[in-house]
Amino acid sequence: MKDFINKLYKNHSLIYKGLLFISTTFFIVYLFPKSGKFKYNFENGKPWQSENLYAPFDFAIKKTDGEIESEKEVLVNNSVLYFNLDNTIEAKIKSSYSNHFKNTFSDSIPRSVSKKLYKIGEKIVDELYLFGVLSEDYNFPEDRAIVVLDGRVKKQDGFFSHLIKQDGVSKVIDNALNKQGVIQYKTVFTSLFFDLVEPNLVFDKSFTDKALQEEIGKIAYTRGSVAKETLIISKGEVVEGDKYQILKSLQSEYESQVWSKSNYIWVLFAYTLLVALALLMLLLFLRKYRIEVFENNTKVTFIFFNVSLMIFITTFVVNYDAKYIYIVPICILPLVLKAFFDARLGLFSHVLTVLLIGFIVPNSYEYMFLQIIAGIVTILTVSELYKRANLFISVGQITLIYIIAYFAFVVIHEGSVKTIKWEIFIWFILSGLATLFVQPLIYIYEKIFGLVSDVSLLELSDTNSKLLKELSDKAPGTFHHSLNVANLAEASANEIGANAMLVRVGALYHDIGKMRNPTFFTENQSTGINPHDELSPKESARIITDHVINGIEIAKKNNLPDRVIDFIRTHHGSSVVYYFYMQEKKEYDDVDKLDFSYPGPKPFSKETAILMMCDSIEAASKSLKEPTSTKIDAFVENIINKQIKDEQFLNADITFKEIESIKKVLKHKLANIYHLRIEYPE
């Protein structure tokens, strides 16, 4: 049991990566659409590239969106209008008609004429209320079908023209009087019915809308069907018209059937295999080419988190509305990874992420082409992310690439620029603006994952920072030494393509531990008094080597990033404080070298190796007397060759060729520092 626990402990890093790999795989598969993928690619207006396609099963042909919308429009334009009838109004009007007639017509009219006029008035009332009088003037077509409801019961139906509008009462009166040849009584009858007529019909909008929705619900979304084994399309035949719609119907039916039947588990298993394969490629890339990243679980977690985040955001947008897919700023991923790691890792992760997103988005080929091209442009154009102007310029270039590529795809697919959706250009611009969010995002990631970007390194390189000002006040000689080392290290890093900003910051802070006992270091001894004179060589060596431990403590107290602390830990490696070691050997034969050695570790990167070389060269150069080019060359060769002999660079991924390049830079820089020139006569 104990051995098993020990094995678990020794392999805890790999176990963690395995669990991270599995959980990320399942999370991404969970985000994928719950359907299979149609195995054929086709485009409207383009030839069918595959072999002759026969229907694999019976399926219905779906109507196009345009056809369905057209049917809906016809139903809306021809839907029945429903009006509610107040059946008390007609009876009320008829009962009060007699009194109104007597009050309106005088007794001087002959009795026979009066009876005739009375009957004409009754006919007018019957005609007005045959269908009913509207309460207000509704703007409907005259031939629109109507139904009059009496207490939700259909009383009669007809057309809208049958209903009497407010301004139509006078027309009914005129027609009735003309037929009977008594038009001279028009004014009197108009006055009579003006006071008498009341509307008895009200438009029932809610009932009309409900009936319309019921009719719309009856619309069939399919038209006809295709039987199994029927030839759908032949190789080389142009995909257009009904052929295109049949293929779209087959694609939709295929995807829904694949996921809903017994092979659900197989489809899920296939998705899992593909996602796992993509993530495995990412892990293998890290293990082969970025071993320092692979061995750091926090960094691996950070990369997997960003890949998952991009897929999650894209899935969310697709589920909401796929037309907004290009608003998602996918190019943030390579920007972030380049800021914390390097361009190659950023591009590799970006390509794998886009390939996985291809399972989610429509028009996956077009989408993947656009995003991969944009990612390449991002990697090639964005340099020195801490310079704000560079980011704005790069975002502009990325947006331009999106627009150009999309324009080209539309022309290829449609053969014309008339069908371009100009609003997509706005989405590309919005995506570019969203990419600017990378700056605050990098800051957030630094705080959450404890990583360091060039932006933070730029802030740390400010010599007016609190810690460097404290170093300048307490140990001015050490501060001056650190500045010189920073300049040498930066030039050396630029020469071999290392991270110049990182090594400069590491050089500025590498000796902050000397603030604890500044006068024990020669560069800070301005009074000529050397406190080591009163100490034994072993005690002096301990104070000298302790500046590494003290530096780590001060750095952690001031929240310096681990990448900077690495320079403090490694800038002396496991080398020996040679002066005091030799002093001790003069007095004793048996001297333990470990008592005079730095605790290590040895440099494990190009940048930390560069700092060790530059620190040793700059410190020892103060002992050069009457320096010449020959002396400086020999001096640089001796110190660095001794470090190589002591195997100080054994763990660093630096080559002999790069070391030789660094030697040349240091020789040139020292020659400039000591102003070597010909001696002029007095």
Q: CA–CA distance from 182 to each of 100, 107, 109, 179, 186 (Å)?
A: 19, 17, 13, 8, 8
| Contact yes or no for 379/330 (Cβ under 8 A) | no
Residue-wise pLDDT for 308-343, tens only, equals 999 999 999 888 877 788 888 888 899 899 888 888
CA pair distance 398, 189, nearest whole angstrom: 80
> What mean pLDDT, rounded, does the chain reach?
84
Confidence check: pLDDT of 680 > 50: no
Check residue 257 and give its pLDDT. 61
Q: What is the token pair recorded at 154?
A: 């259909």
Confidence check: pLDDT of 153 > 90: no
The residues, ordered by sequence, that sit 6+ positions from 122 with a Cβ below 8 Å of its Cβ are: 94, 97
Check residue 556 and give its pLDDT. 92
Confidence check: pLDDT of 263 > 70: no
DSSP-based three-state secondary structure for 150: strand
Dihedral sign for Cα atoms in the order 400, 402, 406, 409: positive
Mutual angle of helices 12-31 and 264-289, in 10-degree steps: 140
Q: Mean pLDDT across the stretch 450-468?
A: 84
| Contact yes or no for 176/120 (Cβ under 8 A) | yes
Q: CA–CA distance from 349 to each of 29, 213, 298, 421 (Å)?
A: 18, 50, 16, 31
Classify burial at 659, counting beta carbons within 10 Å of its beta carbon; exposed 0-12, middle 13-18, buried 19 or more: buried
- In SS3 terms, 340-390 reads as HCCHHHHHHHHHHHHHHHCCCCCCHHHHHHHHHHHHHHHHHHCCCCCCHHH
CATH topology of domain 454-673: Hypothetical protein af1432 (1.10.3210)
Please state whether beta strands 59-62 and 222-226 pair in parallel, antiparallel, or not at all (unpaired).
antiparallel
pLDDT band at 259 (very low <50, low <70, confident <90, very high): low
Which of these, 335, 419, 304, 413, lies nearest to 369 by C-alpha position? 413
pLDDT band at 515 (very low <50, low <70, confident <90, very high): very high
pLDDT band at 39 (very low <50, low <70, confident <90, very high): low
Residue-wise pLDDT for 159-197, tens only, equals 888 888 877 788 887 887 787 777 777 777 777 777 788
Residue whose structure tokens are 């890949």: 307
Letter string b/e over residues 517-551, b meaning 16 or more CB atoms within 10 A of that residue's CB: bbbbbebbeeeeeeebeeeebbebbebbbbbbebb
* Ranges 318-322, 469-473, 672-676: which has the least confidence: 672-676
Q: Taking the CA of residue 325 as centre, how many other CA atoms within 13 Å lie in the half-sphere pointing to its CB?
A: 20
Residue type, 596: F
The pLDDT > 90 percentage for the chain reads: 26
| Contact yes or no for 551/568 (Cβ under 8 A) | yes
Domain ranges of the chain: 2-30+264-449, 32-63+220-260, 74-216, 454-673
Tally of CB atoms within 10 A around 42: 18
Question: Who has greater pLDDT, 384 or 471?
Answer: 471
Q: Mean pLDDT across the stretch 525-533?
A: 78
The residues, ordered by sequence, that sit 6+ positions from 382 with a Cβ below 8 Å of its Cβ are: 335, 338, 390, 391, 394
| Contact yes or no for 504/461 (Cβ under 8 A) | yes
pLDDT band at 511 (very low <50, low <70, confident <90, very high): very high
Q: How far separated are the first and last CA of the chain, in Å rounded? A: 86
Confidence check: pLDDT of 452 > 70: yes
Number of H helices and E strands in the chain, helices first, is 28, 8
Q: What is the largest CA-CA distance in the chain?
A: 159
CA pair distance 43, 50, nearest whole angstrom: 12
| Contact yes or no for 666/488 (Cβ under 8 A) | yes
Check residue 107 and give its pLDDT. 64
Residue-wise pLDDT for 41-100, tens only, equals 676 766 776 778 888 777 888 888 788 888 898 888 888 999 988 888 888 888 777 777
For the chain, give the number of residues: 682
Check residue 681 and give its pLDDT. 52
Q: Taking the CA of residue 395 as centre, how many other CA atoms within 13 Å lie in the half-sphere pointing to its CB?
A: 20
CA pair distance 285, 345, nearest whole angstrom: 8
Which of these, 315, 343, 607, 357, lies nearest to 489 by C-alpha position? 607
The pLDDT > 70 percentage for the chain reads: 92
Check residue 507 and give its pLDDT. 95
Q: Mean pLDDT across the stretch 559-582?
A: 88
Letter string b/e over residues 589-627, b meaning 16 or more CB atoms within 10 A of that residue's CB: eebeeebbbbeeebbbbbbbbbbbbbbbbbbebeeeeeb
CA dihedral 444, 306, 608, 498 (to 10 degrees): -110
Letter string b/e over residues 441-472, b meaning 16 or more CB atoms within 10 A of that residue's CB: bbeebbeeeebbbbbbbbebbeeeeebbeebb
pTM for this prediction: 0.63
pLDDT band at 413 (very low <50, low <70, confident <90, very high): low
CA pair distance 651, 295, nearest whole angstrom: 15
Q: Taking the CA of residue 21 as centre, how many other CA atoms within 13 Å lie in the half-sphere pointing to its CB?
A: 17
DSSP-based three-state secondary structure for 255: helix
Q: Mean pLDDT across the stretch 567-588?
A: 86
Residue-wise pLDDT for 586-630, tens only, equals 777 777 788 888 987 999 889 999 999 999 999 888 877 777 888
Check residue 414 and give its pLDDT. 61
